[in-house]
Structure 1
Amino acid sequence: MKYISTRGDAPSLTFEDVVLTGLAPDGGLYVPETLPKFSQEEIASWAGLSYQELAFKVIAPFVAGEIPDADLQGLIDKSYATFRHDAIAPLVQTGHNEWILELFQGPTLAFKDFALQFLGNLLDYILKKRDQKVVVMGATSGDTGSAAIEGCRHCDNIDIFILHPYQRVSDVQRRQMTTVLEKNVHNIALKGNFDDCQNMVKASFGDQSFLPEGRQLVAVNSINWARIMAQIVYYFYAALALGGPARPISFSVPTGNFGDIFAGYLAKQMGLPIDQLVIATNANDILHRCISENDHSKKELIHSLSPSMDIMVSSNFERLLFDLYGRNGASIKQLMEEFKSGAMHLSDEALVKARELFSSYRLDDEEMIQVIADVFEHTEYLLDPHTAIGVQAARKRRRRQDIPMVCLATAHPAKFPEAVRKAGQTDDPALPHHMADLFDREERYEVLDNDLSVVQKHMQGNIRA
């Protein structure tokens, strides 16, 4: 299995190399040269497999033997051993043919655990085999950081630096990161927004000369292919639980950086009968505007009660565009150059292709709060703000009532007590018992100016020999 850049000017890589590379040298994102395809009969034969067994079936073709099967299964088993629910990704019914896929049963209560527990173990395996040390650098709008830290905290060959926007993540999200005190973990609160954090990470990947000799940066954001790959699995898991592949399934996905829903797109390309994918956005609605109006323009970031989706530039959208434009790297390079000016427009052909599978909807905070209240009133099921956006988007954009609609629950409501209180709950939702003392734990983090040289100097002083 080879991996190629969406912009067409970078060398192809093997699986292990692509895990360690992140952004391609030409600025593009790596994708498989070809996707594995599964027949309906093969998918049907997986019914009844455990989540871990199914993950091996889906992931193994992407690894293509670079990691022995027994070792790969071991990495998968280790990655999901820390999840609180034996089903790993349980389904809960909230309406007629409407289901919630609970992706918050991992150690940091967010869907990012599915990819980042696996990525942490995968990196540790590859680095030990190569006797190599690396620096992980990532930006987070709230959930990626804690999941990445949890995945990498015990890795001897990794120093991890996570940037989050200062005072713009929830208290629970911040403390999940800043109370991890291992020597290889470094949290930076950047005086800026998420896009500032992400731009700083991209700039550092573009010029790594600030690192000590022999070190390289590794990405944990969803630009890393291994994250997307791991997220494909739960689309197959949910579909099989609801009667697939004998009948189609639809999904609604709260969407910021487009990685989670892109995994659903890949699942369809690999043979899973997905009828519809609903892009659910908050007020930062560049993806909704693109699909509904062909308006992919940057606007000022709005800070919302669903902070993990407070993203204006959705990096993984480039991976979809690569397919929509016939996998023509030159076209994507030109499109991304156009976007640098602040806006781009899809060709008529690309837009038609996108709309065949994708629908979209936008919710502001007021509507989102009402959804949390309404769903709780009718079901006594408490949604987090991001999941509420996915549920309402599903209800507004659903094409067929006879096809199960699965709404991805991306975080536990305890991570966002402000939104829950505004929805009428008198008590904050309780943290799971393993996190009950979170607000009593010691914190450690640095508040730094939005200045690339300041951040890189801080990193230089904290990378272990």
Structure 2
Amino acid sequence: MNYISTRGGGSAVDFQTAVLTGLARDGGLFLPDFIPDVRADLSAWAGLDYGALALEVMRRFADLPADDLRAMIGDSYATFRHPDVTPVVAVNGIHILELFHGPTLAFKDVALQFLGRVFEYYLAQSGRRLNILAATSGDTGSAAIAGVRGRRGIRIFVLYPHGRISPAQERQMTTVPDDNVFCLAVRGSFDDCQSIVKTIFLDLPFRDRYELGAVNSINWVRLMAQIVYYFYGAFQVMARTGARAVRIAVPTGNFGDIFAGYLAARMGLPVSRLILSTNENDILARFFNTGVYQRGTVQATLSPSMDIQVASNFERYLYYRVDRNPREVCRLMEAFAQSGQLHLDRARSTGVDPLFAAGTCTTADALATIREFYGQHGYLLDPHSAVGVHVGRQFLSPDEPMLSLATAHPAKFADAIRQATGQDIAHHPVLDALANLPQRRTVLPADAQAVRAFIREHIS
């Protein structure tokens, strides 16, 4: 398997290069040069445990020796607190795929525990060092830090929007004492953080000199690892219900998680609908309902990890939507960069992708869903997962069960849970242990030059 840029620049690269580079040198995102068709394997895969299934999925994309890949998968998911890694729980007719049993209690652990080990594996072989530059809207930062803290040859610099993530999310990053971890609170939005990271990655001399790498979902490995739980969750639901296909509701802001589901469907997983669920920052829902991708102003909500108006993985989907035409991708992305709008041509926009349905969940809707599920069913949803459930229920089918992704533990958003239920009930010992630990962070302006200067100082 080789990897190509969505923008068509340069030649194809191998898996190792795609992993360590993160962003293609022409500014595009890496994708596999073909998507494997695994329909003939589905019946055999359906009975596998999570680790064995991960091996089967990942070996289609990663040219790693089987024993080494198996060992990294085993080590990665041994850190999870549930034997099924991502268990499925049925609540009020909805099947909840719990993705929050990893070290930092968020779905990002599924990919980042694995990616940290892949980084260390390749760096040990080459003797190289890697300086990771990441932007987080809340959960990626702590999961990335947990994946690489203390690992040989790696430093990590995490940018997050100052004052716009939950206190628990911030403490999970800023209380880590390891010398290879740097937390940068940026005076701006997550979109500002993400823009700074991309600007610095496109500064090729700086990127090469300081050996920068990526852990955001621009890194292909993030998506590859997330494909696995779509297969695992769907298999669990189909086995329980006897259904031949599933609908999957995904709360998303950056389009990475749901794009992994899109790839799983293209590989042959029987998914009849992917239900894209957004909060008030609804650029993606508007696109899938109108064919127009138009940037708005970021609104702060109780689901801060989705407070995004520029979805970094949308470009990957766009590549397939325009029939793998990199020139058209470049044209559309340039138009978006200049005007804040992207319009698909009539031939494509009139045929809204039948795999996707999309809807928006307001803060009031999310709070009501949390209140209902806890009050009537004793199940506590975090506000992001509540967005998925609320929108997913608008697209229920009597013949196809609904799988809804629970992306974070409710304890990470205790204030929202308290607001929804009137009770202080969202706790987890992992987070409680951080309450009185000292924190380390540096506050910076939303300026790429300031971030470059910080990196230069702390690497030199």
Alpha-carbon distance in structure 2 between the residues aligned to 1:349 and 1:117: 42
Corresponding position: 1:185 with 2:184 = no
How many residues align? The count is 457
Corresponding position: 1:267 with 2:264 = yes
In structure 2, the partner of 1:397 is 395
Corresponding position: 1:258 with 2:255 = yes
* Gap change, CA 1:168 and 1:88, over 3 Å in 2: same
Of residues 410, 414, 417 in structure 2, which corresponds to 1:417?
414
The answer to whether the 8 A contact 1:212-1:460 is kept is: no
Corresponding position: 1:202 with 2:166 = no
In structure 2, the partner of 1:11 is 11
In structure 1, the partner of 2:437 is 441
Aligned partner letter, 2:310: V
The answer to whether the 8 A contact 1:208-1:217 is kept is: no
The answer to whether the 8 A contact 1:166-1:191 is kept is: yes
C-alpha displacement of 1:354: 4.5
Of residues 352, 355, 364 in structure 1, which corresponds to 2:353?
355
Of residues 232, 235, 248 in structure 2, which corresponds to 1:237?
232
The answer to whether the 8 A contact 2:296-2:309 is kept is: yes
Q: Runs of 4+ in structure 1 displaced over 6 angstroms?
A: none
* CA shift digits 1:224-250 (9 cap, x unpaired): 000000000001101111226961011
In structure 1, the partner of 2:21 is 21
C-alpha displacement of 1:288: 0.6
Alpha-carbon distance in structure 1 between the residues aligned to 2:235 and 2:305: 29
Alpha-carbon distance in structure 2 between the residues aligned to 1:94 and 1:210: 50
Q: Which deviates more from structure 2 when the two are superposed, residues 113-122 or residues 369-378?
A: 369-378
Alpha-carbon distance in structure 1 between the residues aligned to 2:212 and 2:347: 37
Aligned partner letter, 1:262: F
Aligned partner letter, 1:330: R
The answer to whether the 8 A contact 2:289-2:352 is kept is: no
In structure 1, the partner of 2:144 is 148
The answer to whether the 8 A contact 2:243-2:400 is kept is: no
Aligned partner letter, 2:389: V
Of residues 324, 328, 331 in structure 2, which corresponds to 1:327?
324
* CA shift digits 1:119-157 (9 cap, x unpaired): 000000011111100110000000000000000102111
* CA shift digits 1:296-325 (9 cap, x unpaired): 111111011100000100111111111111
Alpha-carbon distance in structure 1 between the residues aligned to 2:308 and 2:2: 30
Alpha-carbon distance in structure 1 between the residues aligned to 2:170 and 2:110: 20
Corresponding position: 1:302 with 2:292 = no
Of residues 339, 360, 372 in structure 2, which corresponds to 1:374?
372
Q: Which deviates more from structure 2 when the two are superposed, residues 170-179 or residues 438-447?
A: 438-447
The answer to whether the 8 A contact 2:237-2:403 is kept is: no
Corresponding position: 1:49 with 2:44 = no
The answer to whether the 8 A contact 2:86-2:98 is kept is: yes
Structure 1 stretches lacking a partner, 5+ long: none
Alpha-carbon distance in structure 1 between the residues aligned to 2:432 and 2:421: 23
* CA shift digits 1:12-34 (9 cap, x unpaired): 11001000111112211110000
Alpha-carbon distance in structure 2 between the residues aligned to 1:437 and 1:344: 46
* CA shift digits 1:390-411 (9 cap, x unpaired): 001001133x222111000000
C-alpha displacement of 1:346: 1.6
The share of aligned pairs that are identical, in percent, is: 46
Normalising by structure 2, what TM-score? 0.97
Alpha-carbon distance in structure 2 between the residues aligned to 1:156 and 1:91: 35
C-alpha displacement of 1:50: 1.3
Structure 2 stretches lacking a partner, 5+ long: none
C-alpha displacement of 1:362: 0.5
Aligned partner letter, 2:226: Q
The answer to whether the 8 A contact 1:360-1:397 is kept is: no
Give the 3-state SS of the residue equivalent to 1:418 in structure 2.
helix
Aligned partner letter, 1:130: S
Give the 3-state SS of the residue equivalent to 1:105 in structure 2.
coil
The answer to whether the 8 A contact 1:210-1:460 is kept is: no
Alpha-carbon distance in structure 2 between the residues aligned to 1:434 and 1:166: 23
C-alpha displacement of 1:454: 1.6
C-alpha displacement of 1:295: 2.7
